[in-house]
């Protein structure tokens, strides 16, 4: 073994050049809330195999919950005998570093830096490895199904057990194992989330009875509204992300205005400190082809500038007739250590989705001319061959992080985004076909772009009060989103608009779109100041208190709305019942201004929809944090839920305006989730959710979201002679879901139901060499028929039949 080269005359000026200055906060989240010395000397059980020192230190940092900084290039030459048993942090490090010529020196922020044992003092290092950062633990390369630290809920970098809210995380390893290449795939694997496809190119997600409209990117809330409609958020390719975090329930502390169901935070991949990359190629059912390349590493000899580039391209057909999609994504990011205490990050991403044969409102109409249910094949498409809902996103972003000393960190985040769409749509809709089997095409065009800008600035760190150390976050944010759109409804066909429904082949000449029938130019501005503190009352008891003050303005061609000085409170408590079990409770709040069409009978916009989330539960860490489990009971109280004002709308004569009114609703339910490693080589993520949503009369609503859902996904690496083989699989089940729809031809309301169903997926991987592997994924193994949408504009669309994907990956 070769110790790190040293010069005896070197005066140590700095122990580490932090690649991510937020690492001090990551350490702080686990250390600052309890006496540092007692934490350093507490016993933890470790299982770290013998092998390269760098890999062992990374595993140790995750298991111990501390930041370990070291020179990756030099540590690569060193090995360790591993570690097994219960030790304090410093005892464990001494054993890992035995015979390496190195010593772990504790820093004021609670982290550790490797220095030469002979000098017992710091060494100026080049590229360093930092296990955690200001956004939480990087999951890439850990092989884990559970995260180390997260920061989605409060900006504090905490373990999931320390966070008093329900959060599900789909890690990079989980995505790679099950070929989860887009947000839809990830949401289907996320416990408690319902995925509903409007049609081939639009999807909505539901949690706890509410649509999820809140998207964050690296913790910055997206300023775009109607994300499922045309913003492209639900089409995001997973090639550029390290993990997806889903915060359940209201999240107004950090998002301000938003939906009640939850928040989806997409955390981008970061540059690495040593050079590596991978190339994947895949082929699957319905001519589905995908290629991905990812290269990362230092760009200077010292490693103080690092970069990463990712590109992916997918060309796929579909089980739905005439539908295809070509999507491309490009991503680049640079990190630069401007000083030992200052980190600058800049990056950009670009994605295009170019579908052809896009269905519109499901893939077939539910009712025919007589009000009878249409019997459609899964492959049936209501679309013309030229129908296309093209969408694109363009993003540039920058982050500046500053170590302020004493464990305090400041962070400025900037984000500029374009979300555009051009939807030239034609489809068979409404009560068709006619008695003679003919149908007409509804054709419209929608074109527009949203330009959004967001900035967030905050500081975070520890403070002392009454002899104990606590944590504080103070910040402010500002965002602006301008949507400019056009709708073309007065179209003219050059040939008769009449087609044969039962022999529909998609052929009908594209119409002349004419002049725009609707022009929209709306701007949403939102500013806010927020603060939250974690009070360490005792070693076991922590109290969270916080609030956000929001100004929100909507101006433009639709109804103007203004909200000023609205206070959104936040409160939580955690209590460690044992070393591995924590009880918690929380109260969160959020509000969402109404859509422009939600007007009352006096043509006045309804007051904002508001939701209060109450939650209590238990969280557990097992096997030194490698396995997490949680149990939560929740209630959401909603006010001003928009519903039709039937007493007004049904007057005779019919009023000139269709009116809405606000009503109250309440969700009650519970969730159970587990994620992580059951034993070496055996990983699992699963959950069960039950919830019921009722209005103020006690009637069940949001019934298109099932009351009960179960999902689990697992993978196991075989042992001995079969150690190159991994096998896995999973299943998801849901109870009955239904939608009340109006059957026009029969002039009555009736329920349309989706019966309970199971979907089973399987996978296997063969590791030919250390760097080359092939994975086979088979989804919907038993080829189950089911609807992934029921009732959207009286339409339906089937879920995917049985399909497979073979992916070969080469790491270098």
Bond into 676 cis (ω within 30):
no
- The Cβ of residue 703 has, within 10 Å, a number of other Cβ atoms equal to 20
Average pLDDT rounded to a whole number, residues 506-533: 95
Q: Are 499 and 441 in contact (CB under 8 A)?
A: yes
* pLDDT tens per residue across span 347-362: 999 999 999 999 999 9
Q: Are 418 and 233 in contact (CB under 8 A)?
A: no
Average pLDDT rounded to a whole number, residues 289-293: 98
* pLDDT tens per residue across span 686-709: 999 999 999 988 999 889 899 999
Give Rg (Cα) of the chain: 27
On the question of pLDDT at 119 being above 80, the answer is no
Burial of 754 (0-12, 13-18, 19+ CB in 10 A): buried
Residues recorded for the chain: 812
* pLDDT tens per residue across span 665-688: 999 999 999 999 999 999 999 999
Which of the four pLDDT bands, split at 50, 70 and 90, describes residue 133?
A: low
Q: How far apart are CA 62 and CA 468, in angstroms?
A: 26
Bond into 338 cis (ω within 30):
no
Q: How far apart are CA 773 and CA 765, in angstroms?
A: 7
* pLDDT tens per residue across span 139-169: 998 899 999 889 988 999 999 999 999 999 9
Task: Report pLDDT for 13.
Answer: 31
On the question of pLDDT at 218 being above 50, the answer is yes
Q: What is the mean pLDDT of the chain?
A: 88
* pLDDT tens per residue across span 467-519: 999 999 999 999 999 999 999 999 999 999 999 999 999 999 999 999 999 99
Enter the pTM of the model: 0.84
Backbone φ, ψ for residue 150 (5° rounding)? -140, 160
Higher pLDDT, 766 or 53: 766
The per-residue b/e assignment along 683-695, b for 16 or more CB within 10 angstroms, e otherwise, is bbbbbbbbbebbb
On the question of pLDDT at 318 being above 50, the answer is yes
Query: In what side-by-side order are the strands of the sheet with 68-69?
Result: 68-69, 112-116, 102-106
Average pLDDT rounded to a whole number, residues 18-26: 32
Reduced to 3 states (helix: H, G, I; strand: E, B; else coil), residue 557 is coil
Burial of 769 (0-12, 13-18, 19+ CB in 10 A): exposed
Residue 84: CA count within 13 A, CB half-sphere: 4
Closest C-alpha among 712, 653, 655 to residue 678: 712
* pLDDT tens per residue across span 465-481: 999 999 999 999 999 99
Closest C-alpha among 582, 676, 589 to residue 632: 582
């Amino acid at each position: 073994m070769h110790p790190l080269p040293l010069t005896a005359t070197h005066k140590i000026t700095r122990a580490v050049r932090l690649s991510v200055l937020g690492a001090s906060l990551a350490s702080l989240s686990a250390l600052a809330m309890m006496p540092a010395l007692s934490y350093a000397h507490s016993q933890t059980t470790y299982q770290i195999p013998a092998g390269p020192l760098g890999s062992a230190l990374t595993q140790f940092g995750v298991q111990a919950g501390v930041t370990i900084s070291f020179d990756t290039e030099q540590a690569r030459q060193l090995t360790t005998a591993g570690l097994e048993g219960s030790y304090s942090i410093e005892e464990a490090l001494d054993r890992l570093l035995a015979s390496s010529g190195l010593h772990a020196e504790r820093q004021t922020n609670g982290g550790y830096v490797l220095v030469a044992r002979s000098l017992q003092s710091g060494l100026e290092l080049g590229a360093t490895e930092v296990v955690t950062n200001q956004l939480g633990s990087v999951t890439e390369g850990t092989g884990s199904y559970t995260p180390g630290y997260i920061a989605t809920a409060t900006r504090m970098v905490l373990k999931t057990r320390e966070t008093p809210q329900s959060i599900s995380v789909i890690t990079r390893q989980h995505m790679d194992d099950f070929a989860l290449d887009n947000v839809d795939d990830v949401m289907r694997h996320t416990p408690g989330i319902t995925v509903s496809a409007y049609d081939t190119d639009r999807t909505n997600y539901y949690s706890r009875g509410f649509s999820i409209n809140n998207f964050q990117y690296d913790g910055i809330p997206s300023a775009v509204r109607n994300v499922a409609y045309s913003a492209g958020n639900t089409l995001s390719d997973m090639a550029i992300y390290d993990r997806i975090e889903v915060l359940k329930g209201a999240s107004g502390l950090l998002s301000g205005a938003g939906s009640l169901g939850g928040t989806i935070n997409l955390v981008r991949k970061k540059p690495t400190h040593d050079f590596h990359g991978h190339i994947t190629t895949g082929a699957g059912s319905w001519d589905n082809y995908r290629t991905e390349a990812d290269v990362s590493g230092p760009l200077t000899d010292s490693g103080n500038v690092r970069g990463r580039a990712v590109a992916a391209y997918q060309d796929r057909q579909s089980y739905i007739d005439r539908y295809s999609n070509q999507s491309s994504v490009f991503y680049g990011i640079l990190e630069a250590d401007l000083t030992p205490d200052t980190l600058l990050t800049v990056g950009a991403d670009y994605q295009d989705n170019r579908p052809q044969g896009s269905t519109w409102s499901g893939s077939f109409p539910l009712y025919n001319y007589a009000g009878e249910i249409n019997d459609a094949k899964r492959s049936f498409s209501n679309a013309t061959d030229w129908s296309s809902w093209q969408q694109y996103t363009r993003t540039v972003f920058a982050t500046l992080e500053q170590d302020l000393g004493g464990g305090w960190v400041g962070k400025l985040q900037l984000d500029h985004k374009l979300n555009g769409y051009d939807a030239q749509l034609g489809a068979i809709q409404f009560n068709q076909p006619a008695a003679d089997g003919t149908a007409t095409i509804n054709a419209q065009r929608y074109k527009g772009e949203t330009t959004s800008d967001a900035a967030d600035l905050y500081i975070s760190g520890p403070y002392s009060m009454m002899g104990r150390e606590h944590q504080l976050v103070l910040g402010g944010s500002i965002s602006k989103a301008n949507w400019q759109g056009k709708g073309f409804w007065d179209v003219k066909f050059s040939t008769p608009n009449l087609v044969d429904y039962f022999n529909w082949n998609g052929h009908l000449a594209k119409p002349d779109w004419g002049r725009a029938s609707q022009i929209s130019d709306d701007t949403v501005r939102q500013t806010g100041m927020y603060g939250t503190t974690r009070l360490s009352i005792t070693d076991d008891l922590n109290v969270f208190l916080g609030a956000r003050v929001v100004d929100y303005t909507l101006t433009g061609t639709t109804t103007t709305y203004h909200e000023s000085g609205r206070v959104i409170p936040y409160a939580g408590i955690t209590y460690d019942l044992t070393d591995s079990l924590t009880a918690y409770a929380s109260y969160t709040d959020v509000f969402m201004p109404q859509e422009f069409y939600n007007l009352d009978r006096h043509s006045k916009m309804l007051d904002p929809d508001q939701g209060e989330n109450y939650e209590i539960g238990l969280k557990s860490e097992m096997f030194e944090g490698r396995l997490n489990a949680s149990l939560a009971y929740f209630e959401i109280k909603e006010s001003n839920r928009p519903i039709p004002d039937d007493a007004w709308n049904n007057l005779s004569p019919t009023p000139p305006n269709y009116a809405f009114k606000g009503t109250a609703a309440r969700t009650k339910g519970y969730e159970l989730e587990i994620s992580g490693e059951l034993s070496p080589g055996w990983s699992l993520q699963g959950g069960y959710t039950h919830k019921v949503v009722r209005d103020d009369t006690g009637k069940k609503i949001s019934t298109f979201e099932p009351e009960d859902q179960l999902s689990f996904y697992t993978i196991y690496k075989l042992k001995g002679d079969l150690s190159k083989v991994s096998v896995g699989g999973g299943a998801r089940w849901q109870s009955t879901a239904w939608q009340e729809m109006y059957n026009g031809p029969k002039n009555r309301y009736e329920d349309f139901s989706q019966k309970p169903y199971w979907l089973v997926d399987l996978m296997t991987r063969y590791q030919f060499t250390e760097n080359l592997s092939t994975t086979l994924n088979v989804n919907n193994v038993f080829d189950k028929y089911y609807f992934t949408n029921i009732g959207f504009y009286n339409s339906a669309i089937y879920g995917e039949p049985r399909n497979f994907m073979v992916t070969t990956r080469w790491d270098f």
